[in-house]
């Protein structure tokens, strides 16, 4: 299905997939870990064994700390007329070169435009 073909229900489009990719630079891993530990410590519903595991992971890996601080729900709670149906996210260390073609955020759009026949 092309990006111009919109799946429609009885009353029009019902679901929209929002894909976001971010590359973040950790400038202070201590601050990041401290904020994540505060979040974990304040979670009254987290079981103690899970809390211990989460705290250890946060102390060892900035990407784990970030995963405890970023919640997709927070990105859309103030958007009127929508309800978050499903969300998933992950964080991992990555090599980053801003001059590399690998990090062309418009790559999918460029590829789609190249596939369109002339005159469309």
pLDDT at 110 over 60: no
Locate all alpha helices (DSSP H) within 29-71, ordered by sequence.
29-41, 48-60, 62-69
At residue 61, the pLDDT reads 95
- Answer for the pair 109, 115: CB distance below 8 angstroms, yes or no: no
Residue 107, both tokens = 């790559």
Mean pLDDT value across residues 73-82 = 90
At residue 42, the pLDDT reads 96
Higher pLDDT, 20 or 30: 30
The domain segmentation of the chain, as residue ranges, is 29-115
On average, the pLDDT of the chain sits at 84
pLDDT band at 21 (very low <50, low <70, confident <90, very high): confident
Rounded CA-CA distance 87/17 in Å is 10
pLDDT band at 112 (very low <50, low <70, confident <90, very high): low
């Amino acid at each position: 299905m092309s990006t111009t073909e919109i799946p429609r229900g009885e009353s029009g489009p019902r679901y929209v997939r929002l894909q976001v990719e971010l590359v973040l630079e950790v400038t202070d891993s201590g601050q990041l870990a401290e904020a994540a530990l505060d979040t974990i410590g304040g979670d009254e519903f987290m079981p103690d064994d899970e809390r211990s595991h989460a705290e250890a992971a946060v102390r060892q890996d900035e990407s784990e700390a970030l995963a405890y601080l970023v919640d997709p729900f927070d990105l859309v709670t103030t958007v009127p007329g929508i309800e978050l149906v499903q969300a998933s996210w992950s964080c991992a260390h990555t090599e980053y070169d801003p001059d590399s073609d690998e990090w062309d955020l418009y790559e999918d759009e460029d590829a789609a435009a190249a596939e369109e026949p002339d005159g469309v």
